[in-house]
Amino acid sequence: MLGFGWSAADLWLWLAPLVVAPFVGSFLGVLVTRLPRHRPVVVARSACETCGTSLAAFELIPLASYLAQRGRCRHCGALIAPFHVAIELGAIAVAVWVLSAETNPDRVWIDCVLGWILLALACIDWRWMLLPDVLTLPLVAAGLVLTLLSQPDAVALHAAAAAVGYIGLRGVAWLYRLARGRDGMGGGDAKLFGAAGAWLGPAALPPLLLLAAVLGIVMAGVLAVSGRRLSATTALPFGSCIAAAFWLLWLHGGGMAWLV
């Protein structure tokens, strides 16, 4: 036992996500920039986006290498996009958030992995206005497997929630298209909504949609205040809002029972 009544295993459980997070964030940065352009994510080594020089092992250390090189490529001097540092900080923030909010030690890693995937999805939708199937569909499966392992009786209900979530949002998109004559929501949004159904169950779908819509309005407000001209046709990354709402309900759903 260490001080404060903590065992070494406890300490490791708390430290490991924080140690791993910057490296996960570094990988997510690569994922977000390459996946939507169909460039290899895992096979290719990380390289400078400007000169293409492969990065040396020490340059792959997140945050530290950025600071050591003052945010520039060692070879060509091109600025490294601050986005890469932002997503590394984001991944650390996810781990800190989980460690401060999660009371069940068995769920720490599940929470972190979900948070990191949702962070990647939110960033991809923000930058590219799409949600890749390679991320959303495994998320549906993972939600159902997790339900099977933790509460087997609820699997059918969660599967139904995934289907209802997907079909429901598809229906909303179809109605929008009928009313406005153009697409207002992508198919990826419906798949992510279905994934949230698989993880959270049917009762969470209405508050999830409400929360995502509120976040969308807040986002539009922030964009308007920051000087972006908004009109009825301005595209907003609604998938980012669904990802954020999914995360809040997963981690704080118990405290949001008043919403359900």
Say how many C-beta atoms besides its own lie within 10 A of residue 18's C-beta.
14
Would you state the structure tokens that stand for residue 106, as one six-digit string? 């068995």
Can you tell me which residue has the tokens 């995502």?
212
Q: Which of 34, 72, 75, 170 binds Zn ion (CB under 5 A)?
A: 75
Q: Which residues pair with 72 in a beta bridge?
A: 79
Residue 72 C-beta: closest distance to Zn ion, Å: 8
Interaction of residue 80 with Zn ion, rule CB under 5 A: no
Interaction of residue 48 with Zn ion, rule CB under 5 A: yes
Q: Which residues contact 193 (CB under 8 A, 6 or more apart)?
A: 165, 166, 168, 169, 205, 208, 209, 242
Stretch that binds Zn ion, among 9-17, 46-54, 95-103, 168-176 (CB under 5 A): 46-54
The sign of the CA dihedral 208, 209, 214, 218 is positive
| Rounded Cα–Cα distance for residues 191 and 162 (Å) | 8
- Tell me the helices (H) and strands (E) count for the chain, helix number first: 9, 0
Residue 124 C-beta: closest distance to Zn ion, Å: 24
Residue 69 C-beta: closest distance to Zn ion, Å: 10
> Is 7 or 54 the residue whose CB approaches Zn ion more closely?
54
Stretch that binds Zn ion, among 42-50, 163-171, 206-214, 234-242 (CB under 5 A): 42-50
> Is 34 or 75 the residue whose CB approaches Zn ion more closely?
75
> Is 73 or 215 the residue whose CB approaches Zn ion more closely?
73
Interaction of residue 73 with Zn ion, rule CB under 5 A: yes
Given the rule CB under 5 A, which residues bind Zn ion? Answer: 48, 50-51, 73, 75-76, 78
